[in-house]
């Protein structure tokens, strides 16, 4: 890497890459002196009735997790996972946009019950790296609250230096890994055209080397991938995250997005038809945890809170 410089607490990226960024324009909030944005498709924040902040919700892993939604208006993602809690994704895309300004996010945060949260998680109505102001929002919220920031991503945009730089502003990043081969990947994650599993693995491995925070691989165990633990271990040994998080779709998912789907909505009052997926049983999860821990030497935590939980 040439002319490296530290650009945030947790990341090193080449100077050429930063100077080559195209998205320029200013939010005028003093959050980023050198970075400027030009909104590709900025909605008017004034017509936005829903808050960009939700929760806090109880997280099996982190305690009280406050959610940040940088998309808000519709479900937007580069994947359309079969188990997605947002339902069928309405806008399957890889185009990065400014959906809602950081100024609006900060107003919502200040009006929310953020105090007492254990962690602040960027997830919401889709893939957070599609939001052009992700890095700026992470830095602003971290500076204001002093609370650990966490971004959940599917890793599809990690080939973009500006996305890796934005993620490096966070304390923790979780990257999805549900499939060990392209066929299963297409079946489970149903990505936007042109996205391959191999590129995600390569770019997650590169991000691992750049990111100084806590990186985990999140694996959703389903019928489609339950016999693939050994193959997943090989990929995990390439990426070498700090931790593996094993999950299974315990909650039913709705047919389509409505604003409450980004948090823990009340099933009885859900306006959409719900579908349940088969989950792995605690004994099976324990066995999978054991195999992953044995083959990779990595700490494994599970939604069932198995013995390898770190
Ligand atoms: S990556 Fe996340 S938000 Fe996108 S479709 Fe999959 S589960 Fe839903």
* Ligand 1 center to 178 CA (angstroms): 11
| pLDDT at residue 73 in the model | 87
Indicate the pLDDT class of residue 45, thresholds 50, 70 and 90. confident
| Residues 224-230, mean pLDDT to the nearest whole number | 89
Instruction: Report the mean per-residue pLDDT for the chain.
Output: 84
Among protein residues, the one whose CA lies closest to atom 7 of ligand 1: 84
* Ligand 1 center to 77 CA (angstroms): 6
Residue to probe by mutation, ligand 1, list 82, 154, 261, most atoms within 8 Å of CB? 154
Distance of CA 146 to the CA centre of its chain: 20
* Ligand 1 center to 221 CA (angstroms): 14
User: Does the pLDDT value for residue 26 go beyond 50?
Assistant: no
| pLDDT at residue 88 in the model | 93
Going 213 to 209 to 184 to 301, the CA torsion angle's sign is negative
Q: Which atom of ligand 1 is nearest to the CA of 77?
A: 4
- Please enumerate in sequence order all residues whose Cβ is within 8 A of that of 148, keeping only pairs 6 or more positions apart, or say none: 118, 119, 120, 171, 172
Q: Which atom of ligand 1 is nearest to the CA of 153?
A: 1
Indicate the pLDDT class of residue 19, thresholds 50, 70 and 90. very low
Q: How far apart are CA 50 and CA 47, in angstroms?
A: 9
Please report, in angstroms and rounded to a whole number, the separation of the first and last CA atoms in the chain.
Answer: 34
Assigned superfamily of 4-302:
Aldolase class I (3.20.20.70)
Residue to probe by mutation, ligand 1, list 76, 80, 85, 86, most atoms within 8 Å of CB? 86
Q: Which atom of ligand 1 is nearest to the CA of 190?
A: 5
Instruction: Read off the pTM.
Output: 0.84
Angle between helices 229-239 and 197-210 (to 10 degrees): 40
| pLDDT at residue 295 in the model | 97
Give start and end residues of each alpha helix (H) in 57-133: 102-110
Among protein residues, the one whose CA lies closest to atom 6 of ligand 1: 81
Q: Which atom of ligand 1 is nearest to the CA of 126?
A: 3
Q: pLDDT tens for residues 238-296?
A: 999 999 999 987 777 777 787 777 876 666 666 667 888 777 888 888 899 999 999 99
- Candidates 75, 73, 72, 69; CA nearest to 90 is 75
Q: Which atom of ligand 1 is nearest to the CA of 176?
A: 1
User: Does the pLDDT value for residue 48 go beyond 70?
Assistant: yes
* Ligand 1 center to 283 CA (angstroms): 27
Indicate the pLDDT class of residue 173, thresholds 50, 70 and 90. very high
* Ligand 1 center to 137 CA (angstroms): 20
Pocket-forming residues, ligand 1, beta carbon under 6 Å = 77, 79-81, 84, 86, 89, 126-127, 154, 176
Ranking 3-7, 212-216, 236-240 by mean pLDDT, the lowest is 3-7
Please report which helix (H) or strand (E) contains residue 191, including its range.
Answer: none
| pLDDT at residue 145 in the model | 98
* Ligand 1 center to 15 CA (angstroms): 32
Whether a cis peptide bond, with omega within 30° of 0, leads into 56 is: yes
| pLDDT at residue 226 in the model | 83
Name the more confident of 261 and 77: 77
Q: Phi, psi (5° rounding) for residue 284?
A: -70, -40
Angle between helices 197-210 and 182-189 (to 10 degrees): 90
Q: pLDDT tens for residues 175-209?
A: 999 999 999 999 999 999 999 999 999 999 999 99
Q: pLDDT tens for residues 61-70?
A: 788 999 999 9
- Please enumerate in sequence order all residues whose Cβ is within 8 A of that of 72, keeping only pairs 6 or more positions apart, or say none: 48, 50, 52, 99, 100, 124, 125, 259
Partner residues linked to 69 by β-bridges = none
Among protein residues, the one whose CA lies closest to atom 8 of ligand 1: 84
What residues does each domain of the chain span? Answer: 4-302
Q: pLDDT tens for residues 110-124?
A: 999 999 999 999 999
- Please enumerate in sequence order all residues whose Cβ is within 8 A of that of 226, keeping only pairs 6 or more positions apart, or say none: 280, 284, 288
| pLDDT at residue 271 in the model | 62
- Whether 168 and 188 have beta carbons less than 8 Å apart is answered as no
Q: Phi, psi (5° rounding) for residue 160?
A: -90, 120
User: Does the pLDDT value for residue 139 go beyond 60?
Assistant: yes
Among protein residues, the one whose CA lies closest to atom 3 of ligand 1: 126
According to DSSP, residue 241 is labeled: -
C-beta neighbour count of 249 within 10 angstroms: 21
Q: How far apart are CA 126 and CA 68, in angstroms?
A: 11
Indicate the pLDDT class of residue 227, thresholds 50, 70 and 90. confident
Q: How far apart are CA 152 and CA 119, in angstroms?
A: 12
Q: What is the largest CA-CA distance in the chain?
A: 56
User: Does the pLDDT value for residue 310 go beyond 70?
Assistant: no
Q: What six digits make up the tokens of 53?
A: 């902040």
Residue 136: exposed, middle, or buried by beta-carbon count in 10 A (0-12, 13-18, 19+)?
A: buried
Q: Which atom of ligand 1 is nearest to the CA of 75?
A: 3
| pLDDT at residue 32 in the model | 40
């Amino acid at each position: 890497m040439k002319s490296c410089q530290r650009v945030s607490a947790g990341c090193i990226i080449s100077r050429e890459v930063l100077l080559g960024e195209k998205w320029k324009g200013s939010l005028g909030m003093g959050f980023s002196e050198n970075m400027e944005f030009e909104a590709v498709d900025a909605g008017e924040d004034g017509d936005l009735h829903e808050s960009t902040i939700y929760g806090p919700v109880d997280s099996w892993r982190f305690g009280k997790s406050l959610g940040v939604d940088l998309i808000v208006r519709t479900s937007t993602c580069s994947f359309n996972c079969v188990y997605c809690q947002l339902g069928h994704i309405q806008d399957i895309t890889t185009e990065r946009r400014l959906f809602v300004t950081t100024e609006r996010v900060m107003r919502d945060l200040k009006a929310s019950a953020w105090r007492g949260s254990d962690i602040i998680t960027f997830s919401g109505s889709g893939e957070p790296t599609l939001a052009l102001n992700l890095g700026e929002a992470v830095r602003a919220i971290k500076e204001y609250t002093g609370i650990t920031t966490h971004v959940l991503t599917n890793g599809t945009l990690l080939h973009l230096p500006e996305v890796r730089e934005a993620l490096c502003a966070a304390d923790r990043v979780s990257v999805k890994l549900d499939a060990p081969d392209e066929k299963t990947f297409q079946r489970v994650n149903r990505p936007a055209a042109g996205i391959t599993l191999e590129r995600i693995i390569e770019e997650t491995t590169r991000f691992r080397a750049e990111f100084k925070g806590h990186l985990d691989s999140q694996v959703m165990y389903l019928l489609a991938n339950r016999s693939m633990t050994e193959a997943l271990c090989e990929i995990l040994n390439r990426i070498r995250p700090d931790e593996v998080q094993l999950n299974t779709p315990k909650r039913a998912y709705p047919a389509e997005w409505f604003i409450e789907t980004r948090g823990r909505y009340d099933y009885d009052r859900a306006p959409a038809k719900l579908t349940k997926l088969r989950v792995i049983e605690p004994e099976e999860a324990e066995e999978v945890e054991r195999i992953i821990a044995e083959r990779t030497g990595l700490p494994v935590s599970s939604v069932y809170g198995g013995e390898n939980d770190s």
